Amino acid sequence: MGVEENSSGTVTADVTDVAGTTDTVTAEAVVAEEVTTLAAGTVVYPIAPGYRVNVRRGPGTQYGIVRTLPYGMSVPVYCQKPGERVTGPYGTSNIWDNIANGQFVADAYVHTGSDGYIAPRCD
């Protein structure tokens, strides 16, 4: 399902923890500078407008595609890992964002508001 916000400001998101357990969380959204924080404490960051981003098994384009995110998607960033250098709408970076267990997107396509790490490094 990803992250969805309805007209009343309620956000529903599938959240996968480090152990791989997925839960659906529904909460009131607080939006500040394009970053959404769910009441449950999970922060999600928007994918660059107009892009459908490939989610990969690891931090580089040599890893297999798990799925492709639809336009307008926002994602949680649980941890970040250095990998292949990628150029996208938010610059060139070797940082890859872990958005779920075994699922990475290039940080150059995620509006985190920073050119550096915004989450702990993945093990």
Q: Is the pTM of this model over 0.75?
A: no
pLDDT at 27: 46
For the chain, the residue count is 123
Is residue 44 scored above 50 in pLDDT? Answer: yes
Is residue 72 scored above 50 in pLDDT? Answer: yes
pLDDT at 45: 97
**Could you identify the residue written with the tokens 């400001």?**
9
- Residue 45's closest CA among 25, 31, 59? 31
| Spatial contact of 3 and 12, defined as CB atoms under 8 Å apart | yes
**Rounded mean pLDDT of the chain?**
81
- The DSSP 8-state label assigned to residue 9 in this structure reads S
| Spatial contact of 29 and 9, defined as CB atoms under 8 Å apart | yes
